[in-house]
Amino acid sequence: MSAELSGTEPNRTEPNGAELNGAQLDLALAELGEGSERWASTTLAARADLLARTGACVAAEAKRWVTAASRAKGLHKSSPLIGEEWLTGPYGVLTSLTALRRTLRAIDGGHSTLASRRFGRAPDGRVTVAVLPLNRYDGLLLHGFRAEAWLRPGVTAAQARDRAGLGQLTPTTNGGVGLVLGAGNISSIAPLDVLYELVAHNRVSILKLNPTFDGLLPVYRAAFAPLIEAGLLRIVTGGADVGGYLAHHPGISHVHITGSAATHDAIVFGGSRTDAPRFTKPISSELGGVSPIIVLPGRWSARDLRYQAEHVATMRLHNGGYNCIAGQVLVLSATWPQKAAFLEAVAVALAAAPTRRAWYPGSDGRMRAARTAYPAARLLPGGRLLVAVADSATPAASWSTDDILTTEYFAPVLGVVELQGSGQAYLDAAVETVNRDFLGTLGANILGLPSSIRRLGPGFEQAMARLRYGTIAINAWTGVGFLSAAAPWGAFPGHTMDNVQSGIGVVHNALLLDDVERTVVRGPFRPFPRSIAHGEWALLPKPPWFVSARSGALTARLLTEFAARPSARKLPRILAAAFRA
């Protein structure tokens, strides 16, 4: 039995040569226990100041952070894809630190974190809270994008205001010491999880890095030095034995994992799945899934087809395809006259995207498995695979358990499913299909002409209410929700340890909302200036996170510098770079 499962003492060596053994881990946990007591006696104002100092250290390490993450992924320093590392690395952490700091100051001043937020209504009386734009700069730099958190049915606006703040409403409560098992694909995930544990739950953390990011250890330690020096964070490396030892350690009160359901189940069930979990500690998680891209039929121009094909390519190929919310299956109307033209545009966009090596462990094996399962799949330049799972002549029962629907490939594989119908009937069928047949509930994407959505009217919003996903992106990618500091991020509520699907709980959520059901992101069907022709007022050009954005690296770096020290004087240069995308 492995140490991951048995909790036996590890004995490993960190990249810097320091021996990492059980005694040293015990000492780290003891120091964190003392730190948790200090945090419980720290004022809200002092907490906000600590986050400000941490933000300054993150900003100082940003360039080194991006260099180390790029090296881990085999990106050349001149690659336009470097922009991904800026946005999903220091930028995401800096925006979260700023938002959390403002939340702490609001609560310290006796205000609800929602005092200046706009409330709305969603189907079945749900209360919604605007979470993007969070400030006036968001409104300009992400002009045309917005997001709302939908609260669970029955929660009132007054209750939302009273409950917002989570652990900071009772700051003297000691949340103990938690274990954060870090992700190995996006470099901001583990730090964001640590910050959320600290602020939302008053819980200090020992962070075990995924071995993929061991090379970032010195960067993380420098970037988060204020938290480490305060005894609120320890960062360690190691394999499954270290994770297992810590998870089962009596000094750990809670575990948070970002990764796969298999790793979650190894901890919870101890290697062999039983009827009841063996793990008795509370555990939260974000575990990915199979994300659909539902396309509404309509009369699209050639440029519409091309742009949205690049959008789909971004959803699939961002970070090389190694994202928990990478779009994995296109859902199309079998009777859409432009179906073939769109699929060809998607194939062209996938083939044209910048090439990169398969850097995430196990990718080659997963690609081989996909090619074995789908021998007729279309192999595209760059090693991308386009899979036609089913068409209108295929009975749904024969593909509802298909690999592409029930396996998160975590590789550049894109599937296609066709359904009968048009209009509301097609949308309802698509919602029913993805709810029933697709693995997980983390994120779903909807693409459609604004005129098509307007024609559906209330039926469209009702369909969104029936779509059981933690983040729904309409004419946007769910990655926008991930990068929005105040947007709650996690699976649709209701999963349990013995049926975990995409995970349990939420993170990010800088307004510290309680009773969240989902986040809904809305973007423009086309960027400026074409957005105006579609009746949308959106000034953002092609987003910098698109894999086809030529100036993505420069724009992302400038956005990170802006997040570190916002100034109106920096805006013209950012916008000029963005318009060169």
pLDDT tens per residue, range 4-49: 333 455 654 444 434 468 899 999 999 999 999 999 999 999 999 9
* Residue 362 CB coordination number (10 Å): 12
CA distance 480 to 491: 15
State the residue for tokens 């901001």. Answer: 188
CA atoms of 436 and 193, how far apart (whole Å): 30
The pLDDT value recorded for residue 18 is 42
Within 10 angstroms of residue 357's Cβ, the number of other Cβ atoms is 11
Q: Is 410 exposed, middle or buried (0-12, 13-18, 19+ CB in 10 A)?
A: buried
Q: Quote the CA–CA distance of 537 and 580 in Å, as a whole number.
A: 20
Tell me the C-alpha to C-alpha distance, in Å, between residue 408 and each of 324, 329, 413: 8, 10, 10
Give the model's pLDDT for residue 16: 42
pLDDT of residue 14: 47
pLDDT (0 to 100) of residue 262:
87
Identity of the residue numbered 161: R
3 state SS of 550: coil
Q: Which residue has the tokens 């105006």?
A: 532
Residue with tokens 């919310």: 325
CA 333 vs. chain centroid, Å, equals 28
Q: Residue 258 belongs to what H/E stretch?
A: strand 254-258
Strand partners, 178: 205, 254
What angle (nearest 5°) sits at the alpha carbon of residue 119, between those of residues 113 and 125?
125
Residue whose structure tokens are 């995930």: 189
Which residues in the chain come in under a pLDDT of 50?
1-7, 12-19, 392-393, 395, 397-398
Say how many C-beta atoms besides its own lie within 10 A of residue 21's C-beta.
16
CA distance 509 to 286: 14
- C-alpha distances (whole Å) from 119 to each of 156, 161, 200, 413, 483 are 10, 10, 22, 39, 21
Q: At what angle do helices 552-564 and 571-578 cross, to 10 degrees?
A: 160
Amino acid at the residue 454: R
Around Cβ 551, how many Cβ atoms within 10 Å?
Answer: 19
Backbone phi, psi, residue 524, to 5°: -80, 145
Strand partners, 128: 120, 150
402 vs 390: CA distance, rounded Å: 10
- From residue 338, alpha-carbon distances to 234, 309, 431, 454 in Å are 54, 12, 21, 20
User: Quick one: pLDDT at residue 19?
Assistant: 40
Token readout for 236 is: 């360690």
Ordered domains of the chain (ranges, CATH): 14-113+165-258 (3.40.605.10), 291-549 (3.40.309.10)
Structural tokens at position 367 = 């690609």
Distance CA 528, CA 542 (A): 8
**Max Cα-Cα span within the chain:** 66
The interaxial angle of helices 240-247 and 22-40, nearest 10 deg, is 50
Rg (CA), the chain: 23
Q: What are the distances in angstroms from CA 64 to CA 89, 92, 128, 215, 554? A: 11, 15, 39, 11, 16
Under 8 Å between Cβ of 201 and 39: no
Note if the pTM is more than 0.85. Answer: yes
